[in-house]
Structure 1
Amino acid sequence: MLKIVEKTKIMFAISLFIIVIGMGFLATRGLNLGIDFTGGAVLNVSMNQEFKKADVDKIIDKYAKNQYLSKTVDDGKDYEVTIKSDALTADEIATMVKEIKTQFKSSELASQDTTGASVGSELKSKAVLALIIAVICMLVYIGFRFEFKFATAAIIALLHDVLITLGVYAVFQIPVNATFIAAILTIIGYSINDTIVIFDRIRENQKKMRKASIDQITNESITETMPRSINTVATTLFTIVAVYVFVPSIRDLSLPLIIGILVGCYSSIFIASPVWVILKKRNKKATT
């Protein structure tokens, strides 16, 4: 039987250390919000010839110096540029694209997506609302299905997952777009599912192991569900990592899923269950 509860202080310290670093970067540097939130334009140019990214960047510097992000995609065959919402007008963008086509004869504008700043602001508020509603619904369900202490522990674990994921994005300044919100909601659902499996086993073992301590019941329950948790996470990660490697166009979704699923597996074992033990022991002390 694994001694998970006995390592609570160590695991909490590790998580707290990671969260503090992430929140420090979040407070000082903030998130690298994409145009879905800030507004702007994304241009995809099919180059159809060999080119140097620096040569294309020189053209864009004439129009939007320090107001854009650029990268090569599709193994360096295409060029993508993200321009801040207040940097260029539609006519200026058209002029810039025309100059790129003039210098690179085989190039053509593959796509252009524009988002207004007001739309981005509305998206941010709706994203926060979606997260709040999801957490409240889970709190109510788990509280009704199990008990309120289980629900509290689960929500703390979910908060842990979200904070660490946000911290990683803040530290490495990974762009955050609308797909990130979808990924966070998916992470929450996946993590809570893993946590509920352990909580359900704890509830069953409470009936079977009436003479055992809370620590023993929790350790036994985690030990029994550990293979299931690891196997589920491993098979899921194999798929998502494959998608991340071979389908670059949806890395905005697959990357946060990889981070969140790993963190969610960790929190369901080392955070949620020990938090429940702490709450259970406090409740016993209060009633004695």
Structure 2
Amino acid sequence: MEFFNPNSNIDFMGVRRLTIAIAIVLVVVSIAALAARGLNLALDFTGGTLVEAGFDAPTEQAEVVDALEAAGFRGVLVQRFDSANFAIRLAPEQSADLAERIEGEGEVESSLDARNAAVGNMVHEALRTTGKTVTIKRSEFVGPQVGKELAYNGVIAVLVVLSGIMIYIAMRFEWKFAVATVVGELHDVIVTLGFFAITGLDFDLTVLAAILAVDGYSVNDKIVVFDRVRELFRSTRGNAPSEVINRAVNSTLSRTIMTSLTTLLTVVALYLFGGPTVEGFALALIVGIVVGTLSTIFFAAPLLLSLGVTKQDLMPKARDEAELARRP
């Protein structure tokens, strides 16, 4: 079933200056947000302590926060899994203070496992003031050095992915296609990161994984359109590049929209019913898929035209002009 006629002739290239300008504005706003506000890096990157606690009865999140604050915990983030289970994140400074207190009081040896257990016990004692039975299911500490290493590795992963994409497309298509694809990918990544900077939502390893998934999904969209561009350049004669690219976008429009919609249905369901653990992952995918789909149609394809791609760019190297002229 097709919602868009493959023979339709929507003039996407006619508004390319406007759509490219909008894309540039989005990138500039996102970069400004990243520079001014930064990402709200989660414990995975900043370091700190994560404690998972479960109650024997439904408990309000406010009760948990109040109990921890009354016990002297500062900078605590409480995330609700369900009506009786919570994730409690202690900031690096709070974790360091607790570690000093534990070692100063000689309660435990300075081993990491013993320290985690001691922090879990302190949280347990604080939560018992709610009057309910509490079970500490997990207590983990992530050091600042580990967090920095994860952040560094995440940046390297994104750069490696983008470099690999550019090399592949330059070999498979032509360098102008590679540039348009990678610039489109950078647009998608930066705008998605900008969304998290503006909203202040937690940026953790699951969100980073979603960013890499968005890269793969978005490049697949762009390759489908660019493959159609290449096919039309080789099979038609006398058409202007703008006509060829416009026709390629129109002929793949139904596939692009339907693929994105079916994927979004799955990801939205994951966001609504998957629970807090995968909420950030799903939201990053939702934003990335929407941005990536729009950038394929309104940014990457127009950018390819602006780079001056022609039929000759895709033709095999000919020994003379006569041989080139005989090719379709």
TM-score (norm 2): 0.81
Structure having the higher helix fraction is: 1
Q: 1:125 aligns with which of 152, 156, 160?
A: 152
Instruction: State the Cα distance separating 1:281 from its structure 2 match.
Output: 6.0
Q: How many percent identity over aligned positions?
A: 32
Matched, 1:63 2:63: no
Equivalent position SS for 2:56: coil
Instruction: State the Cα distance separating 1:9 from its structure 2 match.
Output: 1.7
Taking the aligned partners of 1:183 and 1:157, their CA distance within structure 2 comes to 17
Taking the aligned partners of 1:161 and 1:222, their CA distance within structure 2 comes to 18
Matched, 1:204 2:211: no
Matched, 1:170 2:170: no
* Mapping for residues 171-250 of structure 1, pairs under 5 Å: 171-248=198-275, 249-250=277-278
Greater C-alpha radius of gyration: 2
Match of 1:115 in 2: 142
Instruction: State the Cα distance separating 1:259 from its structure 2 match.
Output: 0.8
Matched, 1:140 2:140: no
Runs of 4+ in structure 1 over 3 Å off = 90-93, 281-284
Instruction: State the Cα distance separating 1:71 from its structure 2 match.
Output: 3.0
Equivalent position SS for 1:266: helix
Equivalent position SS for 2:307: helix
> Are the counterparts in 1 of residues 242 and 305 from structure 2 also a CA contact under 8 Å?
yes
> Are the counterparts in 2 of residues 70 and 82 from structure 1 also a CA contact under 8 Å?
yes
Q: 1:261 aligns with which of 283, 289, 297?
A: 289
Taking the aligned partners of 1:63 and 1:197, their CA distance within structure 2 comes to 57
Match of 1:101 in 2: 128
- Per-residue CA deviation, residues 50-72 of structure 1 (Å, 9 max, x unaligned), is 4333332123223332x221133
Match of 2:45 in 1: 37
- Code of the residue aligned with 1:251 in structure 2: it is E
- Per-residue CA deviation, residues 52-98 of structure 1 (Å, 9 max, x unaligned), is 33332123223332x22113331x32222211123132435522322
- How many correspondences in the alignment? 282
Taking the aligned partners of 2:73 and 2:17, their CA distance within structure 1 comes to 51
TM-score (norm 1): 0.92
Matched, 1:15 2:23: yes
Matched, 1:83 2:98: no
Give the unaligned 5+ runs of structure 2.
1-8, 100-114, 313-328
- Per-residue CA deviation, residues 25-62 of structure 1 (Å, 9 max, x unaligned), is 21111100001100011222112224333332123223
Cα RMSD of the aligned pairs, angstroms, is 1.9
- Code of the residue aligned with 1:199 in structure 2: it is F
Taking the aligned partners of 1:269 and 1:30, their CA distance within structure 2 comes to 29
Residues 281 and 229 (structure 1 numbering): CA distance in 2 closer, same or farther, change over 3 Å? closer
> Are the counterparts in 2 of residues 43 and 109 from structure 1 also a CA contact under 8 Å?
yes
> Are the counterparts in 1 of residues 68 and 126 from structure 2 also a CA contact under 8 Å?
no
Residues 98 and 143 (structure 1 numbering): CA distance in 2 closer, same or farther, change over 3 Å? same
> Are the counterparts in 2 of residues 187 and 260 from structure 1 also a CA contact under 8 Å?
yes
